[in-house]
Structure 1
Amino acid sequence: MASMAAAACRNGLWRPDRQSDVDYARLEHSSQCLANTACLFSGFMTAAGVCLIMKANLVFLAGESLYAAVSQRFDADFGSCKTYGDIVLASIVMISSWLTLGDIIGVREGTIISALLVGILVKRRLPKFSFIQFAAK
């Protein structure tokens, strides 16, 4: 493959300094928009899954069980506890990454959107799931 590119360069068919037909800025922008849209969609799906787990009284994941215990103990709203807890966990990750690596690595807009969005959506959507009643047998 490299020899084909070298031959194309020698014959003048391809010059690295020539403007390419692909607009990389537009491609990168559309890719970023698609990634952000997928992140928002996954936030909605995660919130719906958490609401269904809460309505069914199933076993939570570690984070959600901590937030459920705090919300029951202090008689607080689960969505608020989840939002604050996710923000605290994301802050711990950013601070520890910055202190140990000298740069914030692994935390981008998806982490921040998820930390803020899922708890708020659970808080707003959980009452809408009142039509679902799981009967224990």
Structure 2
Amino acid sequence: GLVLLQFLILRRRFQAIQLLQIPVLLAFGVFNDVALWATEWIGYSAYWQQWLLVLAGIVLLGVGICFQIAGQSIMLAGEAAVLTIATELSRKFGGRRLFAFGYVKIAFDVLLVSSAAVLAVSFLGELSGVREGTAAAALLIGYTVKRLQPLLGPPLARFRDS
């Protein structure tokens, strides 16, 4: 769905190599499952422990997204869709700060989480699968990228170009 969204936005400028996002996403899913298995021993029964893991995940995702952006290659479909939207908004309306990746990421994630909440209530009759950690991630991952990108972007770009 998100690769199709990129295609619809970019049309003739969509590069066929971006279809590799699909197998990359499958590999990412496998690595996710392995990471869940490898970390299942970590205790998180207390609420503060759950929040600690959520915040660690937000920072880790923010760093990972900075690496994806600096790499200028195949990205995960979600981040590539956000980058496509941010780039196109900047191209059409000028490089306004509002169209920076971090801001678009926050708006996109909030839209997805809100949609998930509405669908859960509509089809399940209750808010299932969307809690405060999901909402925090929607708001804070883009913010984290926005803050880390100026710090990590230049050294990562130098490493990429060396």
Distance of 1:63 and 1:131 partners within structure 2? 24
Following superposition, the deviation at residue 58 of structure 1 comes to 2.5
Q: 2:48 aligns with which of 33, 38, 42?
A: 33
Runs (4+) off by over 2 Å: none
Amino acid paired to 2:139: L
Give the aligned residue type for 1:38. Answer: L
**Mapped pair 1:135 → 2:161:** yes
Structure 2 unaligned runs (5+)? 1-44, 91-98
TM-superposition CA deviations, 1:42-100 (whole Å, max 9, x none): 10000000001111113111111111001110112001111000000000000011011
DSSP-derived class of the 1:92 partner: helix
Residue 103 of structure 1 is aligned with which of 126, 134, 149?
126
Q: Name the larger-Rg structure.
A: 1
- CA distance in 1: counterparts of 2:50 and 2:117, whole angstroms: 21
Separation in structure 1 between the aligned mates of residue 76 and residue 144 of structure 2, nearest angstrom: 18
Aligned residues: 108
- Give the aligned residue type for 1:45: L
Give the TM-score of the pair, scaled to structure 2.
0.63
Q: Distance in 2 between matches of 1:125 and 1:42?
A: 15
Aligned with residue 87 of structure 1, among 110, 113, 132 = 110
Q: Which residue of 2 aligns with 1:24?
A: none
Distance 2:81 2:122 in 1: 26
Q: Residues 63-82 of structure 1 correspond to what in structure 2 (within 5 A)?
A: 63-75=78-90, 76-82=99-105
Aligned-pair CA distance for 1:135: 1.6
Deviation digits for residues 16-54 of structure 1 (CA, Å, limit 9, x no counterpart): xxxxxxxxxxxxxx7110010110011000000000111
- CA–CA distance in structure 1, aligned partners of residues 79 and 119 of structure 2: 22
Paired with 2:73 and 2:50, the residues of 1 have a C-alpha distance of: 31
TM-score (structure 1 length as normaliser): 0.75
- The AA in structure 2 aligned to 1:50 is I
Match of 1:45 in 2: 60
What is the Cα-based RMSD across aligned positions, in Å? 1.6
Q: Distance in 1 between matches of 2:148 and 2:87?
A: 19
What pairs with 1:110-121 in structure 2 (closer than 5 Å)? 110-121=133-144
Greater share of helix: 2
